[in-house]
Chain A
Amino acid sequence: MKILIAKPGLDGHDRGAKVVAQALRDAGHEVVYTGLKRTPEEIVAEAIQEDVGVVGLSILSGAHLLLTRRVIEGLRAAGAGDVGVIVGGTIPPRDVESLRALGAAAIFPMSTPLTDIVAAFTTRRLGEPQDVAGLGPRRPRRAI
């Protein structure tokens, strides 16, 4: 699968994004990384241009609800609503359900094991939100 790992907003912390990108690459996926501080519009355009199946958003600034909504709405408006959107980063428990309601296919809060993230991408069903509710980490996620 081709995956876009993206850093929306102003947050400059890219350790998680780069670690996940390397793990997905090693798992055999084709991974494109946007670099820091991209606007939701830029991410939507790059996702379409690169023809990716999934966009992984890495957000550690706390602005995840707004930025995720913008990316999902942007993809839908551009006729790319079938592109799955996954969100990882500093996501407090109280926001996980809100992100799901916005249409995020999977959410990976702090301390999600890397193997769980790779496994979720590898199911290849992330474009179908109704199928992915059970695609979270193997371990029951606490605090959700």
Chain B
Amino acid sequence: MKDLRLNAGIPVKPSYGPEDLAGHDVDAEVGRPGEYPFTRGIHRAMYRERLWTMRQYVGFGTPAQTNARFKHLMAHGQDALNVAFDLPTQLGLDSDDPRAEGEVGRVGMAVDTLADMEAAFAGIPLDRVSVSLTINGMAAPITAMYYAVAERQGVAADKVVTTPQNDILKEFIARGTWVYPVEPSLRLVADLIEFSARRYPRSNPVSVCGYHIREAGCTTAQEMAYGLAIAAAYVELMLARGMAVDDFAPRLSFNFTCWGKIFEEVAKFRAGRRLYARMMRERFGATNPRSCMFRSLIGGGGSAFTAQEPENNIVRGAYIALTAALSGAQTMALPTYDEAYTIPSAKAQLIALRTMQICAEESGAADTADPLGGAYYVEALTNAMEERIVEELAAVERMGGIVEAVKSGAIQAEVARQAYLHEQRLAAGEIRKVAVNCHVGDAGAEADRDVELYAFDPTVAEAQVKQLARVRAERDGDAATAALRRLADEARGTANLMPAITECVKAYATLGEINRALKDVFGEHREPVGF
């Protein structure tokens, strides 16, 4: 019989039995749903009480275009938003910046000033809709804009539910929207967490991501280990500021992917929840059970999907939705079947939403908490996965800890190495991919050609640049200048920068101006280039 290993390197036997759990105190290690260490999920009744939130990642073109797509999806039953910003916005470049040419409104919506965020959420009641903001290097100013929009809508601070991603460490490892060097970048992360914890009690001011690191190539065990290491780094930052762990930890949240082998993914989340709970209680002294809950968006990774015969991706998406449900997701998002080609068409986006709804309403996966709990294979795999994650955490420590590993580029190099190994296994047929390296059929040629793709609207940039010029002309220029000067002054000190950034935002300073003020003080990150 052929040797079979999971993505994390764990060997799989043809069958499992009670002997595979010998020596484990299953009751203590696994426990019950809703109870420490939350192996079986963070809620007692899971989806019977509250279904996962459906939160497709949406944004393109101008804020007005994105606003229309938000409303379209909400009309079809999506209950929360996850905002995609274009690359200039993610990097703090105004739409008229020469470096933004060709990128304005392309992979997300363009935001230059508060006026754009007002347009994006016009007619969307921010006291009733929770909104994720996929923004990192620019999380502080974009979230300040979001809070300002909510305030102008008359929404009380304690009714605002938003999740800025605000996870800069994974940007240095995998996603690339860093601007400033590591230390000032971490200061901004902590400023937003602290500011939000004190004033916006229902905000989740950071979403710690393993997702993008896995998409960049790391293994399942590394994804969880790196995510836990990043979470620990942020907890330490906040403790160093004098905050008590239970004052901010209940609002920490996570963003992980799930694709590939169903049971390996389920085991990854069960092990991850257990390790996180123990870390928060035993290492950081958390006493509030909510501080020990690994609350996660679980979405599929685009890496699961293929350009060949793209309709097959709809089927892969359904397995991903099932896996996320069996993994105990709080929030779900799926890639769309046209993922390999471009950002989603409206049709593809709706099919992804319908996939999650079918999983919720028809499949029975939501009927009871952790339905796989107690299965010999799943429990044994959860234990094996825990061991692998602990090994990977030790490897991070050998690199000097996650922050040092990011600065030196050691962790980026490891992720790239794993990506290359994955590609070699795919080429060798060790990893099977239908219509790619097995069951390759001629029918694919026709299927490929028939995909209806999103078409980028080239007039977006012009409209956005015009809008920016109008805001610049109409604002009180002196107020904007004064606010930017205050921000630069405070950046040289140690104060929390959120109040100064908020003042800039409300004076309609542009994102580019705010970024420049900070960059003049902080400098720019120099990437440790290697492969």
The number of chain B residues touching the other chain, given as a range, is 35 or more
Contact B423 A19 (CB under 8 A): yes
* Interface: B307 (CB within 8 A): yes
Choose, from A60-68, A79-87, A120-128, the stretch at the interface. A60-68
- Give complex CA distance A36, B91 in Å: 12
Contact A62 B307 (CB under 8 A): no
What distance in Å separates the Cβ of A53 from its nearest Cβ neighbour in chain B?
A: 19
- Give complex CA distance A36, B423 in Å: 21
Write out the residue numbers on chain A whose beta carbons fall within 8 Å of the beta carbon of B499.
none
Q: In chain A, what residue has the closest Cβ to B433?
A: A111
Write out the residue numbers on chain A whose beta carbons fall within 8 Å of the beta carbon of B368.
none
Q: Is the interface of B mostly helix, strand, loop or mixed?
A: loop
Q: Is the interface of A mostly helix, strand, loop or mixed?
A: loop
Cβ-defined partner of A22 (8 Å) among B100, B340, B445, B531: B531
- Give complex CA distance A62, B171 in Å: 20
* Interface: B523 (CB within 8 A): no
Interface residues of B in 179-209 (CB under 8 A from A): none
What distance in Å separates the Cβ of A64 from its nearest Cβ neighbour in chain B?
A: 9
Contact A33 B531 (CB under 8 A): yes
Write out the residue numbers on chain A whose beta carbons fall within 8 Å of the beta carbon of B308.
111, 142
* Interface: B475 (CB within 8 A): no
Interface residues in chain B, defined as those with a beta carbon under 8 Å from any beta carbon in chain A: 87-88, 90-91, 93, 99-103, 106-107, 171, 175-177, 215-217, 306-308, 340-343, 416-417, 419-420, 423-424, 427, 436, 444-445, 448-449, 453, 456, 527, 529-531
* Interface: A23 (CB within 8 A): yes
Contact A19 B106 (CB under 8 A): no
- Give complex CA distance A21, B423 in Å: 12
Q: Contacts A15-B217, A22-B416 hold; do A90 and B341 have CB atoms under 8 A apart? A: yes
Contact A114 B341 (CB under 8 A): no
Q: In chain B, what residue has the closest Cβ to A67?
A: B102
**Complex A-B: 12 CB contacts under 8 Å:** A11-B176, A13-B176, A13-B216, A14-B176, A15-B216, A19-B419, A22-B531, A25-B531, A65-B102, A111-B308, A114-B427, A115-B427
Contact B340 A90 (CB under 8 A): yes
Cβ-defined partner of B102 (8 Å) among A9, A90, A115: A9
Contact A22 B103 (CB under 8 A): no
- Give complex CA distance A107, B176 in Å: 24
What distance in Å separates the Cβ of A28 from its nearest Cβ neighbour in chain B?
A: 16
- Give complex CA distance A94, B385 in Å: 43
Q: In chain B, what residue has the closest Cβ to A111?
A: B307
- Give complex CA distance A55, B77 in Å: 47
Q: Contacts A15-B215, A61-B87 hold; do A66 and B102 have CB atoms under 8 A apart? A: yes
Cβ-defined partner of A10 (8 Å) among B88, B419, B445, B531: B88
Cβ-defined partner of A92 (8 Å) among B99, B102, B342: B342
Write out the residue numbers on chain A whose beta carbons fall within 8 Å of the beta carbon of B449.
93, 142-143
Contact B527 A35 (CB under 8 A): yes
Interchain residue pairs A-B with the least CB separation, the first 7? A12-B176, A35-B529, A143-B448, A10-B87, A66-B102, A63-B102, A110-B307
Q: Contacts A15-B416, A111-B307 hold; do A21 and B531 have CB atoms under 8 A apart? A: yes
* Interface: A138 (CB within 8 A): no
Q: In chain B, what residue has the closest Cβ to A63?
A: B102
Q: Contacts A12-B175, A19-B416 hold; do A34 and B529 have CB atoms under 8 A apart? A: yes
* Interface: A18 (CB within 8 A): yes
Cβ-defined partner of A110 (8 Å) among B341, B456, B527: B341
Q: In chain B, what residue has the closest Cβ to A69?
A: B102
What distance in Å separates the Cβ of B98 from its nearest Cβ neighbour in chain A?
A: 9
Contact A18 B419 (CB under 8 A): yes
Contact B420 A111 (CB under 8 A): no
Q: Contacts A36-B176, A61-B103, A93-B449 hold; do A113 and B420 have CB atoms under 8 A apart? A: no
Contact A36 B420 (CB under 8 A): no
Write out the residue numbers on chain B whose beta carbons fall within 8 Å of the beta carbon of A34.
529
Contact B423 A114 (CB under 8 A): yes
- Give complex CA distance A60, B126 in Å: 33
Contact B215 A109 (CB under 8 A): no
